Chain A
Amino acid sequence: MSARAGAASDAVVLRTEHLGRRVNNVVIVSDISLDVHHGEMLGIVGPSGSGKSSFLRLLNRLDEPTSGTVFLEGHDYRQFSPRELRRRVGMVTQRPFLFPGGVASNVSFGPRQRGETLPDAEIAHLLGRVGLPGFAGREVTNLSGGEQQRVSLARALANRPEVLLLDEPTSALDEQAKAGVEELICNLVRETSLTCLMVTHDREQARRMCDRVAILEAGRLIQTGTPAEVLGA
């Protein structure tokens, strides 16, 4: 089910250089240098507390690096305003955190922050792409966990990001919903050549979904390579 299927290119979309973060002299992320190519699905794998999610939060500047930096399309990301950066580097978290109200209002949240109105047809198109056709008028309180995560994905895609960060997007879902969301993400990456970084503690999921895998331990990058090279056959 790997997302790649020839979609990735050698063009580097995101580059981290000696990226690190310390909080009160505790190392959270240490000296990570990594290239992420256009259209690839890069898995960030490691045990609990290895700094996977912390690393991801540095990439859209939800947290501030204490060393190193990130380049987006060749530009130091501090050149962009935080809002512009976060529009270009989208994020889907473990819990969907949908805002109170309707599905359509959630999907159009990002564009609305920039004063843009997302047309109804575009909302319907995005919901169709995440497997929720006809859900625009629904209230978020009536959705299942899997449906909520799909809305969260559509909401992130509405910003037309160049890079999508996925922080354990299926870990709060049951097996059936998990399989559905996995397939959906792989199809999206393949069809749109979206560049994705996905944090997962599930090595099998990384093997199923990712083109390349980076292993983190104690905040450090230990190894990168194809799933077969890093995780074994």
Chain B
Amino acid sequence: MLKSLFHSQITLGFAQAGIASVLALAVILLARRRNIHLESDAAVALVRGIVQIVAVGSILMLLLKGPRWTSVFLLTGMIVAAGSISARRAKNIPGAQKVSTYSIAAGAGLVTAVMTWAGVIDTAITTLIPVGSMIIANAMNTNGLALNRFRSEVLSHAGEIETALALGAAPEDTVALYAESSIHASLIPAIDNLRSLGIVWIPGLMTGMLLSGSSPLYAAIYQFVVIAMILASSGLTSLLSTMMIRNHAFSPAEQLVLRQGLPS
């Protein structure tokens, strides 16, 4: 129906975005009737989302006309932003932003670089940016989950940790158990995505490839490749961030700085 009304692809896109937003707002209004107030958060998120994604689309339009290496700068910018966003999950842990940025850069950066070098990811900006951003975004989510879990585990087990410190244990040993459970918990979504691939959901990239006329079988296999890359980069990110952040939970004199009611 919309296609007959809008002949330009851009105006068609905005019309589709408008209908999707109306649907989302309808659900929010439904929630409001049950006293669940998401209006302001959801409205801001919807506006932010469309502005951000249109900005990215516009930048991509410009980049497509430039040399391929410009994608490196864009991906680096995404990594820095991802580090900053997921560090908010580690409130009161000093150095969380640095840890997040380094971990995402190492996890997502290494996987993207190796896979691009191996020819799995095409160096064309139209491939490298969307696939790279998917890997970075998932690494960011995993990092946020890992840090958030680690923080809450440490806060709720401060007594056990300080008891171990008081008995002469090394700080990293006192939180090893909580670091392990944080890594495990943070990887559940990535593992579940891989497990449910094709059964519960057909991810966006595969949908896009199908829409653009790729072979369904190749689109399916390539989607597996992307999800496996996401698992690899998320795993590496989570491992690194948890390893690094556990040292930041302690002062140089081996005192637990992350404690309830104690400003860091």
Give the interface of A toward B (CB within 8 A): 23-24, 60-64, 82-84, 86-87, 90-91, 93, 95, 97, 99, 109-110, 113-114, 155-156, 159
The B154-172 residues at the A interface (CB cut-off 8 A) are: 159-160, 162-170
With the chains together, A151 CA to B166 CA distance in Å?
15
Among the interface residues B166, B170, B254, which one has the most CB atoms of the partner chain A within 10 A? Answer: B166
What residues of A have a CB within 8 angstroms of the CB of B254 in the complex? 61, 82-83
What residues of B have a CB within 8 angstroms of the CB of A62 in the complex? 162, 165-166, 255-256
Contact: A114 with B166, CB < 8 Å? no
Least CB distance from A81 to B in Å reads: 8
Known: A23-B262, A97-B160, A99-B160. A91 touches B251 (CB 8 A): no
B253 contact from A64, A87, A159, Cβ within 8 A:
A64
Contact: B168 with A159, CB < 8 Å? yes
Query: Chain B contact residues (Cβ within 8 angstroms of A): what range?
Result: 10 to 19
Least CB distance from B17 to A in Å reads: 47
What residues of A have a CB within 8 angstroms of the CB of B251 in the complex? 64
Least CB distance from B145 to A in Å reads: 24
Least CB distance from B55 to A in Å reads: 40
Contact: B163 with A83, CB < 8 Å? no
Check if B39 is an interface residue, CB within 8 A of chain A.
no
A61 contact from B173, B253, B263, Cβ within 8 A:
B253
Contact: B167 with A155, CB < 8 Å? yes
Least CB distance from A113 to B in Å reads: 5
With the chains together, A155 CA to B169 CA distance in Å?
13
Question: Which residue of chain A has its CB nearest to the CB of B251?
Answer: A64
Least CB distance from A150 to B in Å reads: 15
Question: Which residue of chain B has its CB nearest to the CB of A63?
Answer: B255
Q: What are 28 pairs between A and B in contact, CB < 8 Å?
A: A23-B263, A24-B263, A60-B166, A61-B253, A62-B166, A62-B255, A62-B256, A64-B251, A64-B253, A64-B255, A82-B165, A82-B253, A83-B168, A83-B169, A86-B167, A87-B167, A87-B168, A93-B163, A93-B166, A95-B159, A97-B163, A99-B160, A99-B164, A109-B167, A110-B168, A113-B168, A113-B169, A113-B173
